[in-house]
Amino acid sequence: MCAVTTTVREDLAHRIAGEITLSDDPGATLKKWRTDFNISQTELAGAIDVSSSVISDYESGRRESPGIGIVHRLVTALLDVDEARGGSHIRQYGRVLSAGFESDIVHDLQEYPAALPLDEFYDALDATEVSEGKWDYVNGHTVINSIQTITRLSNEEFYRLYGQSTDRGLVFTNVSRGEGPLVAMRVVTPTPNAVVLHGIDADDLWEHAPALAEIDGFSLATSTRDLDAALADLRALT
Q: What local confidence, expressed as pLDDT, does residue 4 receive?
A: 57
Q: Where in the chain is the domain with CATH 1.10.260.40?
A: 6-91
- Determine contact, residues 202/128, Cβ cutoff 8 Å: yes
> What is the reported pLDDT for 65?
84
Q: Does domain 6-91 have CATH number 3.40.50.300?
A: no
Q: Tell which CATH classification among 3.40.1390.20, 2.60.40.1220, 3.40.50.2300, 3.40.47.10 matches the domain 102-236.
A: 3.40.1390.20
Q: pTM for the complete prediction?
A: 0.63
The amino acid present at 121, given as its one-letter code, is F
- Are 167 and 193 a contacting pair, CB within 8 Å? yes
Please name which of 38, 35, 39 lies closest in space to residue 48, comparing C-alpha atoms: 39
CB atoms within 10 A of CB 91: 21
Checking if the pLDDT of 238 tops 80, the result is no
- Range(s) for CATH 3.40.1390.20 in the chain? 102-236
86: left (phi over 0), alpha (psi -120 to 50) or beta: left
pLDDT in tens, 192-231: 999 999 999 999 999 999 999 999 999 999 999 999 899 8
Cβ-in-10-Å burial (0-12, 13-18, 19+) of 218 comes to buried
- The larger pLDDT score, comparing residue 47 to residue 96, is at 47
